[in-house]
Structure 1
Amino acid sequence: MKPGKAATLTITLLITLLFAVSAGCIGTGQQPPASPVVTAVAAPAADCPPLVFTDQEFAFELRRTLSAAYSGEADIGECLATASRIEEGDVESWYREWNRTADAIRTAGDESLAAGHRVSAREAYYRAATYYRTAEFFLHGDPADPRIVETWGKSRDSFRDALALDAVPCEIVAIPYEHTTLPGYFYAADGSGTPRPLLIVQTGFDGCQEELHPYAMEGIKRGYNVLTFEGPGQGEVIRIQHIPFRPDWENVIGPVVAYAVSRPDVDEDRIALWGISLGGYLAPRGAAYEHRIAALVADGGTYDVGLTLLRNLQKEGGAAANLTREDLQEWLQTDPAEFNDAIREAMAHDTGTRWLNENGMFVFNAGSPAQFWAKWMDFSLAGIAEEIRCPTLVSAGAIDHFDPDWVQAQALYAHLTCERELMVFSDEYGAGSHCQIGAFAQSFAAKFDWLDDTMGIRG
């Protein structure tokens, strides 16, 4: 199907506007519709106050980096000083200043270690890992940029150097997957080798598993063993192995669970899966087919990537009123120049739109915005969510700019037939953002309490 000229112009205009909105924090101006919730939802704020930057994508990523301070993997003064040197909206300036800070903290760690101060070295290495990861974030416009692998590698090396100095038992693992392996970390609650409940934690669209360390430590505190991993499109798997994202994530989760149950220190009857950000689609997709999973956290819940886009187009009426998902995807697969030109024009004027499409093309190995969106529209739980059998927690933020009015989370919740809960976080105390970034204390308390109750963990 090739839309006529009028429909094409409508589609490109609306998609451009959609990206511009989704790139930053927005307010609904009204209370979200009533839904079953665990956490009471206060009236959401009208918008997100700027944090150093007025550029909303920069402000959000700064908040993300600051949130690592909760677990000692960033420091507020270092973050604010670095941000103050960055030119608004300039991704080269962003890379340069975060890399500079990371190098300085890494050097401080090396000096501490050489002097025999292992605790100071460990803490510096964890912070350096965070800052290198932040520096690399906006570099994906040129997949051949050598700084991507170089800076990511410095982040991983710093993280592993910190792990080597940490008292928590952690094993670097390779998970068999098709004709290769997936990288993972297995954190043990103690060194006894006793079978324990296992929490598998995975990231989403743009994360690396080293960023999941705070989640792992919270699990360890509560008596879980924790396994993190990276799959296609993520971390090492896209940067080194060049394996892009795939929508049928059950073919990823299956091997991960198979590896887990092969370990003698895992209680195979108590395996939980927690997916973060786009992991709120990936983990449910895996759980729909992998019934050895005993509990699922979709954080935040994602039902259908193309759902919001398609509905916005249909609301416009005219030539787009009867547009189907298949029509839109088929058109995008033709790699229409008018679509790509409109998106690239929007990318030139908005950091969030630029990042979304550049990272999307990077992790999907797509040559254009249209090719990226055509592939991303395959990420749907329609007719699949109903197959999830284990108790499921769907979370959302009241002002999550990636899921305004938590439409995606509600759609996933509505299609579940298993035992389920919907947990919506108010922004009254700053927890209403995407995946509760910047409010880990509230986030971990509520979500782990649900998980502990579901998994029968006490004490």
Structure 2
Amino acid sequence: MVAAIRDAEWYAQFPDDYRWSYNVMLALAQIPTGGGEVGEIDRVCRRLAGHVGDDERWFREWRAMGDQVRTLAERAEGLGDRRAAMAHYRRASNYYFAAERFRFPKDEDALDTYRAMLDTFRRAAELDDRYRIEFVEIPYESSSLPAFFVSAAATPEGRAPVVVFMNGFDGNKELNWFLGIEDLLARGVSVLSLDSPGVGEAIRFRGIPLRHDYEVAGSAAVDWLETRPDVDPDRIGVMALSLGGYYASRSASMEPRFKACVAWGAIWDYHRIWRERIEAAFAKQLPVPGAHLVWSTGTASTEEALQVLEGFRLAEVVPRMTGAFLLVHGEDDQQVPVADARLLFDACGSADKTLRIFTGAEGGAQHCQMDNLSIAVPEINRWLADRLGATAG
């Protein structure tokens, strides 16, 4: 059983299935930053018409589009057309990401598709003459967390402010590229985009599950950044979206070296959110299949997963936050109620805190503003650049 879409002012490709529609909207939202092409996305959606809810069909069609666009990239690269190849590889990586996210269990077909996403994203980065995108490892307990770093420092000797950018429950570091990284760089802010515990490569290939004490990962990122000569250690911020609203808020509350924090989507009591979803047999608005919870927590059942989520509450944590805080939420967010945003904002201990609720009338009212990134991203990044004292790169 799937959840249909409540009455809302946003484009829904598949009105009877929120999850499918939201993920099409996510793909469309990334067109301006090179993550998709409307004709290619439309072609996939037309092939999916009449098969709504069939996640195997979703997997096959998005993967096929990824393969098709990767072939375009390889052809362009063979012709020496680096710019065209870069653009094609970036779109292919996003289509592979769209394909894999609904695939459960994470079998070899799923993991091979994810590897194709990683490979095409990296090949695009290697062809990008505008930025030096470094793929790095962040020491983390007995393992490491995969990340990429892009410096906004004007000179090799310069020190720029930096943002640790994490995704959410079902995203990854590559997705962050299409959610405003280039805009941050243009404002003079460097970016460390991180696959944190339970996310991306960290869970798929290293078995690092979700954990409530997310400051362990946040502090590991700060430790690594402090070793870089092109980073100003006194101007480090953290940003994350969706469930990342918990990651960022928790990290900034427990790690005072974070001078600014953006919770791009509020999380107040994640245990309650999932308890209600489970009680409804997952017939609620979800971004991915319910099976993602057990898999990302490294547990064997929903009951065990809920035990892991006992610590995913912020009431006793955010009063400790001292750095600047921006909380961004959508008025009609169908995954997390706007009331949770108000609870989180009121509890935050920061003396410099801002609550931004995007409305249906202006756009951006949906989850993490995927219905209008063009107005949300500049507002978020302008706030970050201001609080971190950035100058245009």
Using structure 1 for the length normalisation, give the TM-score: 0.80
Deviations along 1:403-422, one digit per CA (max 9) or x if unpaired, are: 12x12211110101212110
* Counterparts in 2 of 1:308 and 1:119: CA distance versus 1, 3 Å: closer
Determine which of 278, 281, 291 is the counterpart of 2:256.
Answer: 291
The 8 Å contact of residues 176 and 255 in structure 1, kept in 2 or not, is answered as: yes
Query: What amino acid sits opposite 1:403 in the alignment?
Result: V
Contact persistence 1:269–1:294 (CA under 8 A): yes
Contact 1:298 1:395 in 2 (8 A): yes
Report the AA paired with residue 343 of structure 2.
Answer: A
Q: Which runs of 5+ in 2 are unaligned?
A: none
- Residue type of the partner of 1:358? A
Q: Which amino acid in the other structure matches residue 150 of structure 1?
A: D
Using the size of structure 2 for normalisation, the TM-score is: 0.93
Separation in 2, partners of 1:129, 1:235: 13
Instruction: Tell me the equivalent position of 1:172.
Output: 135
Q: 1:185 aligns with which of 131, 148, 170?
A: 148
| CA distance 1:24–1:414, change in 2 (3 Å) | farther
Task: Specify the alignment match of 1:435 in structure 2.
Answer: 368
How far did residue 94 of structure 1 move?
0.3
1:191-245 Cα shifts (integer Å, max 9, x gaps): 7221101111101100110000132211111111111111111111100011110
Please list the CA deviations of residues 271-302 of structure 1 after superposition, one character each: whole Å capped at 9, or x if unmatched.
11101111100111111111111110001121
Please say if residues 397 and 431 of structure 1, whose CA atoms lie closer than 8 Å, have aligned partners that are also in contact. Answer: yes
Name the structure 2 match of 1:101.
65
Q: Structure 1 pair 363/24, CA: closer, same or farther in 2 (3 Å)?
A: farther
Q: How does 1:280-319 map to 2 (within 5 A)?
A: 280-307=245-272
Q: SS of the residue aligned with 2:191? A: strand
Unaligned runs of 5+ in 1: 1-18, 28-44, 313-338
- The SS at the match of 2:233 is strand
Contact 1:130 1:155 in 2 (8 A): yes
Structure 2 residue 234 is the aligned partner of structure 1 residue 234: no
Task: Note the 1:346-365 alignment, pairs <5 A.
Answer: 346-347=281-282, 350=283, 355-365=288-298
Which one-letter code corresponds to 2:122 in the other structure? R
Aligned to 1:26: 6
1:365, distance to aligned residue in structure 2 (A): 1.5
User: CA separation in 2, counterparts of 1:308 and 1:60?
Assistant: 18
Please state if 1:269 is matched with 2:234. Answer: yes
- Counterpart check, 1:73 vs 2:35: yes
The residue number in structure 2 matching 1:328 is none
Tell me the residue number matched to 2:219.
254
Q: 1:411: which partner in 2?
A: 343
Give the secondary structure class of the aligned counterpart of 1:102: helix
Query: Alpha carbons of 1:24 and 1:292: their partners in 2 closer, same or farther (altered >3 Å)?
Result: farther
Aligned residue number for residue 13 of structure 1: none
Residue 199 to residue 133, structure 1, CA distance change in 2 (3 Å): same
Larger Rg: 1
Structure 1 residues 307 and 358 mapped into 2: Cα distance closer, same or farther (>3 Å)?
A: closer
- Retained in 1: the 8 A contact 2:253–2:318? yes
% same residue: 29
Q: Give distance in 2, aligned partners of 1:271 and 1:106.
A: 36
Q: Per-residue deviation at 1:455?
A: 2.0
Of 212, 225, 232, 2:190 maps to 225
Work out which of the residue numbers 311, 330, 353 in structure 2 matches 1:397.
330
Q: Say if 1:185 and 1:24 are closer, same or farther in 2 by CA, change over 3 A.
A: farther
Residue 74 and residue 49 in structure 1: after superposition, are their counterparts in 2 closer, same or farther (change >3 A)? Answer: closer
Matched to 2:43, the amino acid is A
Q: What's 1:138 paired with?
A: 102
Q: In the comparison of the two structures, how many residue pairs are matched?
A: 386
Higher relative CO (Cα under 8 Å, sequence separation at least 6) belongs to 1
How big is the alpha-carbon RMSD for the aligned residues of Structure 1 and Structure 2?
Answer: 2.1
Do the aligned residues in 2 keep the contact of 1:196 with 1:266 (CA within 8 Å)? yes
Shift of the 250–24 alpha-carbon distance from structure 1 to 2, 3 Å rule, reads farther
Match of 2:82 in 1: 118
Residue in structure 2 matched with residue 371 of structure 1 by the alignment = 304
Deviation at 1:370, TM superposition (A): 2.1
